[in-house]
Amino acid sequence: MGKLDIREALKISIAVPTALLIALWLGWEKPYWAAATIVILATNESFGHSIKTGKERILGAALGSLLAVILVALFPQSPIYFMATFIAVSSILVYLSGCQYHGYLFKMALTVCTLIAMVGGLDNVATFQIAVTRLQETILGVLVFTFVYSFLGQQETQQLVKTSFDDALEAIRKKIVSARYPSLFDKSPTNVEFTTAKKRLISLLSLPLNGSHDLASNKKNYQILLAALIESAEREIDSSESEQLLIHRYSAIKRLLTQNAVSDCSSKTLPALLGLTDRESKVLIKQTKPTLTVLTNYQARLMTVLQNACIVATSFLIWIHLPVPGGTTFPMLACVLANSMVTMPKSIIKHVIGGFLVFSVVILIQFVLIMPVLTEAWQLAAFYFANLFCIWLICDILKQPLQKMLGGQLLVVLTNGTLHLTPTYDIQTPIIMIILVFMSLAICKFFIDLIQPEVLLPHRISPT
């Protein structure tokens, strides 16, 4: 059982109704898009992560809107050419979404491109209007989230950086001890621990650091500390001098972090204090910054591209040849789910399906029994406040962070009929959507299980 985080539950419960009320007051058509944005941002690890995700979500929405408008403009009367081009574009975006540091931007671009192109029904005017609405709602969601979470407190990036430095230092300590006593620590797990901490620190130091004055004003110093740790991890302890250097460096970094004295050193004197030459410092600092990862792990990324292309093509074929209700809703849902699920660990997929089933039943019961009697805007706000508060607390208790995002998004999506300027309470729409989602999940799981390295290339992975 996890511990209750009432402050986080309150923040999301205040932010979402606030965004919905503002969107309704402005007369925007799809307020639930702003609410969904807030739910996504709220599930991030820290405020810095959320701001980075918000920026990439806005940029992704802009890129996806542009791609959707271009696709619809090029092929308004040619659905076959449209589908072929869409599969090609989605394949490129899925591959780029594998980028370690900026992949979410391209994942968001594909999601928005799919939504706008499909909802617009291949109509130029409707597509453009939906694109503008999507951008408006996304920006509103990011602004409301930033205001509410800044006002009510935020998850400190500073603490995450300190914890990651502690993990990296512990890996260096084990390396020093194992040089004297090889039987105490195995090198392989220690290297893995350091690599994990290193990647985490690179990611954290690349975030917007406005929430922490110390990190923002001393970012260069923290990068130098990380550079020194990277050099320590790569250095072979083949002499007493090397061992003494690592011990000195470990003690110096530990002291600076423990005493919060990083700001007391200048970026010019710190490398010398840690035993780094100017040349080593310049070369190693480059390793502390995010790099282009177009070709990194390309084999696994191409596998996800193939999975996505098969799912999208199959959904289009089913939509064309079978009387699937809901218009373009089915291929739209299949494409959006494929974009998310092909990059998920296989072990998580069953939790997604289970969570979707549970949340759908609970939300539909409320949609039928409670929502028709809510006639005022404040009553709707109270409804979403209570539900989100319960979802966040229950998921905290059960230690299910993934279900927070799933439950929050399903809440605003399945009840979006009540958020229209002219509310609708037709139960058929959410039921059809649930059926289509399960169909999409089945297709996604089939191809994800089918297209795996051990299935496609058994001779390469079989034991010799």
Sign of CA dihedral 277, 279, 281, 283: negative
Averaged pLDDT, 390-413: 90
Between the CA of residue 219 and those of 214, 262, 265, 368, 407, what are the distances in Å?
Answer: 8, 10, 12, 53, 37
Q: Residue 1: pLDDT above 70? A: no
**What percentage of residues in the chain have a pLDDT greater than 90?**
36
What pLDDT, on a 0 to 100 scale, did the predictor assign at position 7? Answer: 84
Distance between CA atoms of residues 408 and 356, nearest Å: 11
The pLDDT tens digits of the residues spanning 310-348 come to 999 999 999 999 888 888 889 999 999 999 888 888 778
pLDDT at 383: 95
Q: Which pLDDT belongs to residue 90?
A: 94
Task: Tell me the average pLDDT across 260-266.
Answer: 75
What sign has the CA pseudo-torsion 53, 54, 55, 61? positive
Task: Tell which residue, 411, 355, 416, 362, has the closest CA to residue 388.
Answer: 411
* Cα-based torsion angle of the residue sequence 48, 54, 56, 57 in order, rounded to the nearest 10 degrees: 150
Judged by average pLDDT, the poorest of 33-47, 127-141, 153-167, 297-311 is 153-167
Residue 79: its pLDDT value, please? Answer: 83
pLDDT at 61 over 70: yes
**Rounded CA gap, 39 and 388, in Å?**
9
CA distance 140 to 381: 17
- Given a cut of 80, is residue 11 above it in pLDDT? yes
Dist CA 295 CA 403 (whole Å): 32
Check pLDDT > 80 for residue 115.
yes
Cα separation of 206 and 219, whole Å? 9
pTM for the predicted model, two decimal places: 0.81
Q: pLDDT band at 462, cuts 50/70/90?
A: very low
Q: Give per-residue pLDDT as tens, 186-238.
A: 666 666 777 777 777 777 667 666 556 666 677 777 777 777 777 777 777 76
Average pLDDT over residues 428-434: 89
Query: Is the backbone of residue 273 left (phi > 0), alpha (psi -120 to 50) or beta?
Result: alpha
